[in-house]
A = this chain, B = another copy of it.
């Protein structure tokens, strides 16, 4: 039996939420009152009904992904021959096609995974998620790799993402040059829509190996599909445990009363601080370096889902809030001064890890100096934990609301819980903000201008529009 099949273990691994320091009882006037949370109950009940209906009617298919465990068999089957020879697994993707895999890789693999010798990582390849087309970065990262042992996973739901297709053209040409066309062809996996889009057409034409992104699952909600799962399976992450964690969270949320529902409560807190309290920023500050990537993933999910010009009734609202990544303890020496003394415009969310894998004792060296003496005999773990408590406490004392999401450990099961929780929280928040959390109309303009300037047929209008805009004035340029 795997540990996560044991209900007692799963319960011990349950993620929890502590929002004491967000409430007026503890943080003072800048906190919320219980009545404010209660007043939101009718709206949350409405959101709840809508979500239930949406889920039943198949509009929110990503919430059911953790139950589709046959994806794990498919991925294992596809990955198996690659695992026999591949040392460098390169993901070409951007946004939702990159951030989920990177978050899981960072959280669940050795911090030096990409630098360790094969024998120290169960012969799993390094994982490179190349999510920029900046020439020196792109060239430089590829330059350091062993091309004889390199596989490419091209990921784009739509199959038409300009950056990803451009990366693919460059890398495929280079790979052909190094290993020949026949071999290059075998070192490629394309993850895209099952039926539509240019990558699907290309794969059919060329006979490339493919995996599917289920229809109606947008990029930022695709971590539990092949988009997120294949890359981290290659790197050695236990997919069964990850999906079990997501299911565990889903069951918990489905079986909770609104007041006890982690996602509803979190969405309500974020919504009330953003609107009623006029705090446009949510800081997400893991006390764990391994969760920095998760925080980046959350920032995308939150920004693209809620940052919207029009609401569901078509009214111009220009709403949303800005989620910002920070990192404990590091940012105590960077951002904390601002958080404690600056404007009252933030709600801080800590991600706390109760138990780390390693225990690092501090030896009683140099204890003739008082500044060393109080450290010796303690551990780095103790200092880390105490600093986190001291930070939350001092924010509270300064009237700065903060809350803590607590993980017993960082493992695939808790990561599955957390990612599912944030997906649900975001969709619930969409209901409270009154916007469609599943679209991203604001980025279309930039794509069209890009196509126009690249000379793509059919987009000449956008080039003309760009060229016709009022020109820049020299007086606003300092050279």
Contacts and interface: CB of A to CB of B under 8 A. Distances in A.
A390 B450 contact: yes
26 contacts: A17-B478, A20-B476, A25-B473, A26-B473, A99-B334, A110-B144, A133-B387, A135-B359, A136-B356, A136-B410, A138-B360, A167-B380, A202-B366, A261-B478, A265-B478, A281-B281, A299-B335, A303-B338, A308-B337, A308-B342, A320-B342, A340-B446, A390-B450, A397-B445, A397-B469, A398-B442
> How many copies of the chain does the oligomer comprise?
2
B16 A450 contact: no
Contact of A390 (B287, B336, B446): B446
A478 B341 CA distance: 29
A466 B141 CA distance: 48
A94 B330 contact: yes
Contact of A476 (B23, B202, B320, B371): B23
A318 B303 contact: no
B335 A201 contact: no
B340 A170 contact: no
Contacts of A163: 329, 333, 383, 387
A170 B306 CA distance: 44
A192 to B, nearest CB: 12
Interface stretch (A50-58, A64-72, A453-461): A453-461
A13 B66 CA distance: 53
A185 interface: no
A246 B332 CA distance: 28
A201 B143 CA distance: 46
A5 interface: no
A378 interface: yes
A82 interface: no
A391 interface: yes
Interface in A176-208: 198, 201-202, 205-206
Interface residues of A, number: 156
A131 interface: yes
Contact of A479 (B14, B356, B479): B14
A362 B287 CA distance: 42
A77 interface: no
Contact of A440 (B114, B337, B451): B337
Contact of A375 (B135, B136, B165): B165
Given A115-B144, A380-B135, A281 B322 contact: yes
A38 interface: no
Contacts of A10: none
B455 A303 contact: no
B453 A386 contact: yes
A453 B390 contact: yes
A340 B445 contact: yes
A1 interface: no
A394 interface: yes
A309 interface: yes
Contacts of A371: 159-160, 165, 198
Contact of A383 (B322, B357, B440, B454): B454
A243 interface: no
A478 B342 contact: no
A470 interface: yes
B338 A165 contact: no
A236 interface: no
B341 A112 contact: no
Given A112-B141, A136-B357, A387 B332 contact: no
B370 A457 contact: yes
Interface in A357-387: 357-363, 365-366, 368-372, 374-376, 378-384, 386-387
A136 B357 CA distance: 6
B380 A20 contact: no
A23 B477 CA distance: 11
Chain B CB within 10 A, most for which of A173, A375, A455 = A375
A84 interface: no
Contact of A319 (B342, B374, B455): B342
Nearest to A287: B134
Contacts of A162: 375, 383, 387
B166 A140 contact: no
Contacts of A219: 333
Interface string A205-233: 11000000000000100000000000000
B136 A111 contact: yes
A324 interface: yes
Nearest to A334: B300
